[in-house]
């Protein structure tokens, strides 16, 4: 059984990926400092899969702590989720973002090299694409990040490329996620942001359970079918399966390289599409008001999902209704 280290594996995407990776027959080790997650998630992962998971509460930037993980296990590959992800906070505290996101990656790569672990899958983001690209955007689209968070992802991609160039026996897979939403069907895992959410689905869920009064729809004068912003929402369980496909590819491949894949559905939905689908699939009505545009937003982005389908055999199968239902199920369960 191959051992896979998930840095940040108790977070939203990491926890769902832990479940799918275990179900696919890999052994999972999680390293997380709990800076944005809760230890209870570990038990939920074990409960869903009925499998054991080794856990290290460590900061991945800390070389000594990370070395212990590699010294005590025979790690075949790493999925590197650990990092901070709040765009607004990254504008106010850029150094915190560069230190954690870039810093953890540098420490991880050095340690992997020292312990002869040669496979890494990295969590990048669609926000590395410049808004000038035509949609659907392909992996060779123009790159330009518009905030410090996005720049950490872009810089890390460059670092990984340089590293793989200098170490051709390393295998590097970069996954550019579009907009992950939804939750595990059990209702045990999901996204749990503190305070007032920045992102659409957690905000809608908080309105649905009565924690917030109404949704503010940021602008209805974009160049889209109903004037509201269009995004490529992907079910987090599909996204998790995308990671397993990337691991399977690494296991099977004879050669090493540097590969980049969009992980999306290829379909764009507007804010009002999401609200309408959420209402229909959950039998409730979300109150909303149209407000000003949010600075930095663009009208529309969605992926070309072809490369991942052709080269990884990955295709998202869960639709927007399932995304809305599972998100609400998780929030309602939390509320009780």
Residues at the site binding ligand UD1, with contacts judged by CB under 6 A: 87, 125, 127, 150, 179, 198-200, 203, 215-218, 229, 231, 271, 294, 296-297
Q: Is 238 in the site for ligand NAD (CB under 6 A)?
A: no
Contacts of 184 (CB under 8 A, 6+ apart): 16, 19, 48, 190, 236, 237, 326, 330
Q: Which stretch binds ligand NAD (CB under 6 A): 75-83, 253-261, 276-284, 306-314?
A: 75-83
Alpha helices, DSSP H, located in the chain: 12-23, 40-49, 63-72, 87-92, 94-97, 103-114, 148-166, 200-208, 236-252, 271-282, 306-307, 320-335
Partner in contact with 277, chosen from ligand NAD, ligand UD1, none, beta carbon below 5 to 8 Å by kind: none
- DSSP 3-state of 27: strand
- The residue among 161 and 256 lying less far from ligand NAD, judged by its C-beta, is 161
Query: Could you please report the per-residue DSSP string of 181-220?
Result: E---TTSS-----SSS-SSHHHHHHHHHTTSSS-EEEE-S
Q: Element (H or E) spanning 119, and its range?
A: strand 119-125
**For this structure, is 149 an active site residue?**
yes
Distance separating alpha carbons of residues 16 and 294, to the nearest angstrom? 30
**Residue 221 beta carbon to ligand NAD: minimum distance, rounded to whole angstroms:** 25
- The residue among 36 and 281 lying less far from ligand NAD, judged by its C-beta, is 36
Binds ligand NAD (CB under 6 A): choice among 105, 111, 123, 228: 123
Q: Is 130 in the site for ligand NAD (CB under 6 A)?
A: no
- The residue among 146 and 220 lying less far from ligand NAD, judged by its C-beta, is 146
- The residue among 183 and 220 lying less far from ligand NAD, judged by its C-beta, is 183
**Residue 169 beta carbon to ligand NAD: minimum distance, rounded to whole angstroms:** 25
- Interface with ligand NAD in residues 76-105 (CB under 6 A): 81-83, 85, 100, 104
Neighbour-count burial of 207, counting CB atoms closer than 10 A to its CB (0-12 exposed, 13-18 middle, 19+ buried): buried
Q: Which stretch binds ligand NAD (CB under 6 A): 25-33, 243-251, 256-264, 304-312?
A: 25-33
Partner in contact with 242, chosen from ligand NAD, ligand UD1, none, beta carbon below 5 to 8 Å by kind: none
Partner in contact with 294, chosen from ligand UD1, ligand NAD, none, beta carbon below 5 to 8 Å by kind: ligand UD1
Q: Rounded to the nearest 5°, which phi and psi values hold at 217?
A: -90, 115
Partner in contact with 200, chosen from ligand NAD, ligand UD1, none, beta carbon below 5 to 8 Å by kind: ligand UD1
- The residue among 180 and 268 lying less far from ligand NAD, judged by its C-beta, is 180
Q: Which stretch binds ligand NAD (CB under 6 A): 56-64, 111-119, 132-140, 163-171?
A: 56-64
The closest of 157, 316, 137, 302 to 240, measured between CA atoms, is: 316
Query: Distance of CA 149 to CAs 62, 130, 210, 224, 268, Å?
Result: 21, 14, 31, 26, 23
From 26, 149, 330, 331, the catalytic residue: 149
Distance separating alpha carbons of residues 235 and 97, to the nearest angstrom? 26
Judged by the rule CB under 6 A, the positions of this chain that interact with ligand NAD are: 7-8, 10-14, 31-37, 59-61, 81-83, 85, 100, 104, 123, 125, 177, 180
**Catalytically annotated residues:** 149
């Amino acid at each position: 059984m191959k051992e896979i280290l998930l840095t940040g594996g108790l977070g939203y995407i990491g926890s769902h990926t832990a479940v799918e990776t275990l179900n696919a027959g890999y052994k999972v080790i999680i390293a997380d400092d709990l800076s944005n997650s809760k230890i209870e998630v570990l038990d939920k992962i074990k409960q869903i899969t009925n499998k054991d998971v080794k856990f290290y509460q460590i900061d991945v930037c800390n070389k000594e702590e990370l070395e212990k993980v590699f010294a005590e296990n025979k790690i075949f590959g790493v999925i590197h989720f650990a990092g901070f992800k709040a765009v607004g906070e990254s504008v106010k505290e850029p150094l915190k973002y560069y230190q954690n996101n870039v810093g953890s990656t540098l420490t991880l790569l050095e340690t992997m090299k020292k312990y002869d672990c040669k496979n890494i899958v990295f969590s990048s983001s669609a926000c590395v694409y410049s808004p000038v690209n035509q949609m659907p955007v392909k992996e060779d689209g123009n790159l330009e990040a518009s905030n410090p968070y996005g720049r950490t992802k872009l810089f890390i991609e460059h670092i990984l490329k340089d590293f793989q160039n200098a170490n051709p026996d390393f295998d590097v897979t970069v996954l550019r996620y579009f907009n992950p939403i939804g939750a595990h069907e059990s209702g045990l895992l999901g996204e749990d942001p503190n305070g007032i959410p920045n992102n659409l689905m957690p905000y809608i869920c908080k309105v649905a359970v009565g924690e917030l009064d109404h949704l503010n729809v940021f602008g209805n004068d974009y160049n889209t079918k109903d004037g509201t912003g269009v995004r490529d929402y992907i079910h987090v369980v599909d996204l998790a399966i995308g990671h397993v496909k990337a691991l399977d590819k690494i296991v099977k491949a004879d050669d090493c390289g540097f590969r980049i894949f969009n992980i999306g559905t290829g379909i764009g939905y507007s804010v009002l599409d999401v609200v309408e689908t959420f209402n229909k699939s959950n039998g409730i009505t979300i109150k909303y008001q149209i407000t000003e545009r949010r600075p930095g937003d663009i009208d529309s982005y969605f992926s070309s999902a072809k490369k991942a389908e052709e080269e990884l055999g990955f295709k998202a199968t869960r639709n927007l209704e399932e995304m809305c239902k599972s998100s609400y199920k998780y929030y309602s369960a939390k509320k009780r």
